[in-house]
A and B are shown apart, each in its own frame.
Chain A
């Protein structure tokens, strides 16, 4: 049972346009959400996060939106650049007895065309 889902395995966007990556979750206990970017042969790197008490967090070209009622979050990249081409993972965390466990979505491969 996947608790965090990224239903689009890939996304292709023209340079300069907006990239929107989506993520859905099922566990209402999740209270912190993160986006990671991963290049081939490298570990994922943290990109941006949002707490469940907020509905938007912005950092430069990257904005994450959280819709708790819909259990949905999205990452907007504006404007998209060729260097943004990578796999993007959303992740969610909930405090439980084992600590801040992280649950990842399956990833979306973003391709930004020049």
Chain B
């Protein structure tokens, strides 16, 4: 199965700043997914990132707030822009590896103060 390296593992950020989360996969994958897990809630899909095209965002998520880059088949970034305390959450990237289901990164715990 794919191995994903996600950075940073956690961060505490000031309101109004931005944080970029990186995910590096050890194999080429067509699609990468970005999720958010807010306290007490299940995972929510933010967007799907395809290499060479713009990301597809789910309802309630917009590119200006969560810009995504996908420069190649092994790497993607998610930026949380102009952060507010409501953005405090765990952010996860994942790839679709049907042999083992979905492989997730280790997550980024973001706290906005």
A positions within 8 Å CB-CB of B: 32, 34, 36, 41-46, 49, 89, 91, 93, 98-102, 104-107
Contact A46 B42 (CB under 8 A): no
Chain B residues with CB under 8 Å of A89's CB are: 42-43
Q: Is chain B's binding surface mostly helix, strand, loop or mixed? A: strand
Q: 1/0 per position for B73-113, CB-CB distance to A under 8 A?
A: 00000000000000000101010101011111111010000
* Neighbour of B101 across the interface among A34, A98, A105, A106, CB < 8 A: A34
Some 26 contacts from A to B, beta carbons below 8 A apart, are A34-B101, A34-B102, A41-B107, A41-B109, A42-B106, A42-B107, A43-B6, A43-B104, A43-B105, A43-B107, A44-B43, A44-B92, A44-B104, A46-B100, A46-B103, A89-B42, A98-B56, A99-B30, A99-B96, A100-B31, A101-B45, A102-B33, A102-B45, A104-B43, A106-B41, A107-B42
Chain A residues with CB under 8 Å of B69's CB are: none
Contact B43 A46 (CB under 8 A): no
Interface residues on B, range: 20 to 34
* Neighbour of A43 across the interface among B31, B92, B100, CB < 8 A: B92
**Which residues of chain B (1-56) have a CB below 8 Å from chain A?**
1, 6, 30-31, 33, 41-43, 45, 48, 56
Chain B residues with CB under 8 Å of A44's CB are: 43, 92, 104
Contact A100 B96 (CB under 8 A): yes
Chain A residues with CB under 8 Å of B107's CB are: 41-43
Q: How far is the CA of A94 from the CA of B31 in the complex (A)?
A: 15
Chain B residues with CB under 8 Å of A45's CB are: 104
* Neighbour of B94 across the interface among A41, A98, A102, CB < 8 A: A102
Contact B42 A104 (CB under 8 A): yes
3 A-B pairs closest in CB distance: A43-B107, A46-B101, A43-B104
Chain B residues with CB under 8 Å of A43's CB are: 6, 90, 92, 104-107
